[in-house]
Structure 1
Amino acid sequence: MKNKFLSKRYWNSISTPMGESNDLLKKFDDIIDFSLGDPDITTSEIIIKKAFEDAMNGHTHYTDSLGDPELRKEIRKFYLNKYDYNVKSDECMITTSGCHAMWLTLEAILDDGDEVIIHDPYFTPYPQQIKLARGIPVHLETFEEEGFQVNPKRLENLITNRTKAIIINTPNNPSGTCFKKETLKEIAEIAIKYDLIVIADDIYTLFSYEEPFIPITTLEKMRERTITIGSFSKNYAMTGWRIGYLIAPSFIIQTAKDINENNVFASPSISQRAAIHALKNRDKIQPQIACEYKKRIFYAYDRICSIPNMSVLKPRGSIYLFVNIKATGLSSKEVADKMLNEAHVLVLPGNAFGKCGEGYIRLAMTVNTKKMNEAFNRIEKMNIFNKCMVSAL
């Protein structure tokens, strides 16, 4: 929108299908929503009750600007117990969500014109987040035929003297891929060779279905050049609490803290208390969440495999399925629009996730299998996915 009172940076619309999905939900009364990664799973009662008790006991004030010391201690303990990785006290900072952590990171490390490589398809906000920090996003293509793994040769070919960082996201949103240990090692070798930073967007670590998740920061010589972004949103069903964290070398943490003092100063105290109880009770809370998502994603996978003109890779990780709809002959936006208007099923078109997302739609496992059954029953009746129509083509 062009207006003299708006910054010229925002004169051209930067709305995304993710942001527009809330408005689309109002279009029909019976929409089944696969659009955003905000599940129908409510935060564990254990977390809610203990956070409420903490609020009643006075935890309603500013915390340390680096975050509640008890929460940072629990995060450090988690990394030590889970990954045998020692995080020092000055290497951890609490943030107001994973997205906030990403903004602080990019603001801390980028000079004007620095390039940041992102593997495409990517989490929709990445390019704009990079631009907000005056950087330049550079897109690294990945392909379904390669399991959406990063190809080291294509990665290396994109590096210039302005390249500052590489963002990796595994388990991945939207493709669901999990980078193999070999892939992580190849990325690490390139980062070391060219003296680059790796920003690891480790949001879906609970949802690695084939092999245990490996943080790239734990690989040899990667500690000093990795910035890890963590979040409680998906791993603990705490999307609305808006709480995340950074793990990085102390000089980056200190800079991020200084920047944040001019932004939100500190994360919400009650959300930080909730995160403490999430970590302390993770063995009681997380197995149920992981089991439910796995049940949903494999149910959806089986249904998709039986529908003409749809295909999808076997689930490997995350809470999403990236469904190939190229056989319809339509664009991802056209298919998403038809699914909304004809079946009242809301999905995100693949082009929302970059050039390599065209020809796909993303489904988030945010509803139970009963609703999924209804959604896929509706989809099967659509002409573009109808057996009779396919045989006639």
Structure 2
Amino acid sequence: MPQDKPWKSALLRLAGAAALAGALTTWSLPAQADAGFNRFVSEFWPTARAAGISSQTYNAVFSGMQPDDDTLRLMSKQSEFVKPIWDYLDSAVSDDRVEKGRKLLREYEAVLRQIEARYGVNREVVLAIWGMETNYGGYMGRHNVVQALATLAYAAPRRKSFWQQELVTALGIVQAGHVRFQDMEGSWAGAMGHTQFMPSSWKAYAADYDGDGRRDIWTSIPDALASTAAYLNKHGWQTGKTWGYEVELPSGFDYRLADGEQTLTLGEWSRHGIRRTNGRDFPRPSDDAIIVLPAGASGPAFLMLRNFFVIKRYNNATAYALAVGHLADRIIGGGPLEGDWAREYVPLSRSETEELQALLNRQGFTVGDVDGQVGPATRRGIRAYQSARGLVPDGYASAVLLAHMKVDG
């Protein structure tokens, strides 16, 4: 990689630790150095020192470093369009990823069995997260994590304290010897290793599966998988239970019950006429569940259990958690989803969502601030509008709904 040379030279300078113990002003900076970034690094030193970072580590890591241009570019990029969930799932749960997952399930059977016994998390779910995050280690990011986090701590317009804390934690990981600085690769935003932990998550949840004293999520697949299981376990994974069920809703179903908050047992949902798509009974009718309609009333429906929301602690997106659960099921022999996606009901971009919110406010279905985010208030406003206009009140913000509202005035 282009960044390797200055990092390697920095590591060589570790051999002369005594020389590095001096002030940061001893650096030899390139002629094209970013003066603002260099000033940030100099001024951040007291914070790092207070957190226990040595001058040797600090100087060796930062000597010659410049901001990560790719992080700067992606940090300021606003994603205007939302990928439809059906396209997301087609990619995330591809046949290739399913087949590779099945192969790795066999290859790491002993490790995964021990991890499942230790943490109580279904082995196929751990494997599915590995597949989702890095395609089973195929792409873990090509950014040095410290450089990316330093760039964000320096230049990000928001959450500076968050990025600074992640930076200090990353420096501590390097200093403790869990990973070599040049091997600390991850995403442009600092997510690291096979299963993409932020430094703070690594500090809180990473596991040393093989007992070598290092929690190595970069080069030790067992450590990475155990760390993922430990994370899910600590966030409330219910051992022996699944993430959810694809279901069929009865004709005349009251969609006000599908508000994403109404919790009933599976037995109680059954009394509302809801059935599994494969015709089987729910194995534990006493389990609590919430109806989730990822694409509104015109797409597949699901009853989601607690474990679905634990997966969302890993990545707080319904599409992500559904993909993890579905990929896990496919890896152990399950088939494709049975419901069809009504692909004309495409989700809205941020600017389109702002337009929708403005129309709802103007027509008396108050949703609060026009911020382009579909939160609970916006979904309630959509349901109120849909009910008032004789539409299915599923609360789903789609291009079809926006077009209807424009005509409606």
Give the TM-score band, short-chain normalised. Answer: under 0.3
Q: Which one has the bigger strand percentage?
A: 1
Higher relative contact order (CA 8 A, sep 6+): 1
TM-score, normalisation: structure 2: 0.26
Larger radius of gyration: 2
Q: Which one has the bigger helix percentage?
A: 2
